[in-house]
């Protein structure tokens, strides 16, 4: 069971100082707590998404949709995000997610169509459609690594999109739907899509059964990102472990979810450590 299959979403617009539900001209999207008792820690889902989006934006300078936490009249929290596809005149910018760009639908590719691709294929489409492809490819790489580190196993094709600017050019949208899904689906796959075709047969994955630094370096190369640059990005995540832990500890998650989130981050960061440097440090 995936998060996206049970996450309720409602469209809101602002009237004076009130937020009201609407089926047209929605300015915001609100997500209450997860609605399935088959998932774990469902009451923590609004704070989980808000926390993860803030970690992405504040620590790693990942562009994200504007977001926050609000409360219903009974005190229950909900996650709210402002739509980024609206123009000032309330018309919409053209936006296409990567399931659409790859012509993946439930009719053509079955119910799991959102997972029927690799992240490298997303990169290939970026090269085709985005004039400023090099920074966009690095943005994709940083976001894929981020999702891996925080335990977001549901970053599927529909969670990545291109948006057409007023100049007519396309670029990646701000990141959205970022959360540590592992808090709610502990036994899910580590990542929603394979990094690239054949990655499961790569030496590191074959040896350990999970992605490590060599797999992300190879993925980066396929995105035309140099090994030196990719290593710097990976090290940036590793060096931020203490700050990530601090932000998680200060969040509104339950104590159990805080511990689970921190444990996931610690485990994933260990996987992408440069083992050569670690070995040299141990010898000293």
The reported pLDDT for the residue numbered 155 is: 96
CA angle, corner 86, sides to 21 and 147, nearest 5? Answer: 90
The reported pLDDT for the residue numbered 283 is: 45
Cα 81 from Cα 140, distance rounded (Å) = 21
Task: Answer yes or no: are the C-beta atoms of 153 and 188 closer than 8 Å.
Answer: yes
Structural domain boundaries of the chain?
3-283
Q: DSSP label at 115?
A: G
CB atoms within 10 A of CB 85: 14
The reported pLDDT for the residue numbered 7 is: 83
The reported pLDDT for the residue numbered 35 is: 82
The reported pLDDT for the residue numbered 282 is: 46
Distances (CA, A) of 150 to 58, 251, 268: 14, 15, 8
Beta pairing, strands 77-82 & 67-71: antiparallel
Give the list of residues 6+ apart from residue 100 with CB closer than 8 angstroms, or none.
none
Cα 44 from Cα 160, distance rounded (Å) = 24
- Look at residue 25 and give its three-state secondary structure: coil
The reported pLDDT for the residue numbered 213 is: 98
Give the list of residues 6+ apart from residue 133 with CB closer than 8 angstroms, or none.
126, 127
The reported pLDDT for the residue numbered 38 is: 87
The reported pLDDT for the residue numbered 276 is: 65
Show pLDDT as tens, one digit a residue, over the chain (284 residues).
Answer: 457 667 889 999 999 888 999 988 899 999 999 988 889 999 999 999 999 999 999 999 999 999 999 999 899 999 999 999 998 888 899 999 999 999 999 999 999 999 999 999 999 999 999 999 999 999 999 999 999 999 999 999 999 999 999 899 999 999 999 999 999 999 999 999 999 999 999 999 999 999 999 999 999 999 999 999 999 999 999 999 999 999 999 999 999 999 999 999 999 999 999 876 655 444 44
Cα 113 from Cα 106, distance rounded (Å) = 6
What values do phi and psi take at 176, rounded to 5? -145, 165
Give the list of residues 6+ apart from residue 37 with CB closer than 8 angstroms, or none.
none
């Amino acid at each position: 069971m995936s998060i996206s299959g049970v996450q309720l979403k409602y469209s809101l617009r602002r009237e004076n100082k009130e937020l009201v539900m609407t089926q047209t001209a929605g300015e915001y999207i609100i997500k209450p707590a997860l609605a399935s008792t088959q998932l774990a820690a469902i009451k923590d889902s609004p704070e989980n998404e808000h926390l993860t989006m803030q970690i992405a934006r504040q620590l790693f300078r990942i562009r994200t949709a504007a977001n926050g936490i609000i409360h219903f009249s009974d005190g229950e929290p909900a996650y709210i995000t402002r739509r980024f596809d609206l123009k000032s005149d309330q018309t919409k910018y053209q936006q296409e997610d990567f399931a659409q760009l790859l012509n993946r639908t439930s009719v053509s590719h079955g119910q799991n169509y959102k997972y029927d691709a690799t992240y490298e294929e997303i990169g290939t489409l970026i090269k085709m459609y985005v004039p400023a492809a090099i920074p966009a490819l690095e943005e994709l790489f940083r976001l894929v690594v981020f999702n891996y580190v925080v335990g977001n196993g549901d970053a599927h094709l529909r969670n990545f999109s291109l948006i057409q600017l007023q100049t007519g050019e396309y670029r990646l949208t701000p990141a959205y739907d970022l959360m540590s899904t592992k808090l709610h689906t502990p036994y899910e796959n580590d990542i929603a899509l394979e990094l690239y075709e054949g990655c499961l047969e790569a030496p590191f994955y074959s040896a350990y059964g999970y992605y490590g630094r060599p797999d992300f370096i190879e993925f980066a190369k396929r995105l035309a990102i140099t090994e030196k640059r990719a290593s710097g990005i990976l090290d940036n995540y590793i060096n931020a472990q203490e700050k990530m832990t601090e932000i998680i500890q200060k969040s509104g998650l339950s104590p159990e979810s805080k511990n689970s989130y921190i444990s996931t981050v610690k485990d994933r960061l260990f996987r992408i450590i440069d083992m050569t440097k670690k070995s040299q440090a141990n010898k000293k």
